Amino acid sequence: MFNASVSFHDVLFMLRGAGVTLLLTFWAVVGGTTLGVLFGLLRASAPGWPSFALGAVLDVFRSVPLLIQIILVNAFAPILGFDVSAFTIACIVLAVYGAAYCTEIVRASVLAVPQPTRRAARSLGLTWADDLTAIVFPIALRVGLPGWIGLALGLMKDSALVLWIGVIELLRSSQIVVTRTQQPLLVLGIAGAIYFLISFPIARAGAWFERRWQDQ
């Protein structure tokens, strides 16, 4: 029998979508952060044309709307002979998009570590690598964490855009439920609540670290 009210199964269906959203966010954040740290370090410590060129390329990913990037990559990937799923394409595009932003967060955070502090570390005989791991990273982390948390939350919400290439994440699964039940306000309310439940712990974790570091 046709039932038009939002059922327990609908919520389960949406939770499965939320699982996909979480997975997308996970890969986007892991990939984006890894690339972002590498690129950001390069941009901060090796000025000159490679750094400039990298900055210019990453600017493209920051300037073109994410939705256009997703659709273009999804369209061109098979033409170029890549046989990958929509989910993989979604992860890659989100990760590169995230990396473009993360690079600037890392670059600014590393440059925020005072040069005299680094000089003091080197004067004690610490190598470049020691200076990076023992001095630069811990201090830069404190500078960059709020921005990075913002980026992670942004990626999580931006991941909704991949519904356009057929990935059934939280928003797409909510749309499917809306189409059948015709109760958009209730369903989107539930979806919003799920997005909030995912974001909240991440935001709280960031705030916890910031509070802990305040004593220093």
At 85, phi and psi to the nearest 5? Answer: -75, 160
Residue 133 CB, shortest distance to another protein, in Å, is 9
Residue 102 CB, shortest distance to another protein, in Å, is 21
Residue 127 CB, shortest distance to another protein, in Å, is 6
How far apart CA 149 and CA 18 sit, in angstroms, is 19
58 vs 121, beta carbon nearer another protein: 121
85 vs 127, beta carbon nearer another protein: 127
**The Cα angle at residue 153 between residues 63 and 12, in degrees rounded to 5:** 120
User: Which of 146, 169, 213, 154 is closest to 24 using CA atoms?
Assistant: 169
Q: What is the DSSP string of the chain?
A: ----SPPHHHHHHHHHHHHHHHHHHHHHHHHHHHHHHHHHHHHHH--SHHHHHHHHHHHHHHHS-HHHHHHHHHHHHHHTT----HHHHHHHHHHHHHHHHHHHHHHHHHHHS-HHHHHHHHHTT--HHHIIIIIIHHHHHHHHHHHHHHHHHHHHHHGGGGGGGT---HHHHHHHHHHHH--HHHHHHHHHHHHHHHHHHHHHHHHHHHHHHHT-
Residue 153 CB, shortest distance to another protein, in Å, is 25
Residue 128 CB, shortest distance to another protein, in Å, is 9
Footprint of another protein (CB under 8 A): 114, 116-117, 119-127, 130, 134-135, 138-139, 142, 213, 215-216
63 vs 216, beta carbon nearer another protein: 216
106 vs 160, beta carbon nearer another protein: 106
Residue 211 CB, shortest distance to another protein, in Å, is 14
63 vs 115, beta carbon nearer another protein: 115
126 vs 186, beta carbon nearer another protein: 126
